[in-house]
Structure 1
């Protein structure tokens, strides 16, 4: 893996009325079996979030 100094940086600027926010992180390329496992886990998490967002009324009352 790349060290943080060598890795490209990902940034997102969010403009708000109350003040701006900046999110950033280092990008790490992961390949092989470990990369496949991470992609499957990420796909599963995104799928669950999309299903939840499509049916918010299915959540139990609080």
Structure 2
């Protein structure tokens, strides 16, 4: 009798790195290896002399 291995394929998990550009403000640490659909943890607001932080936006030209 010969026994054969049966294999189940592991699911493909897409992961992403999220980086933050503070445009002259204090640095914000990136978040690495977030699985698709995971919530991004809101970082502390950056600071910049002479400015008040408003919000983070996805587009650089806003």
Instruction: Please classify the TM superposition score into its range, dividing by the shorter chain length.
Output: under 0.3
- 1 or 2, which has the higher strand percentage? 1
The structure number with the bigger radius of gyration is: 2
Which is richer in helix? Answer: 1
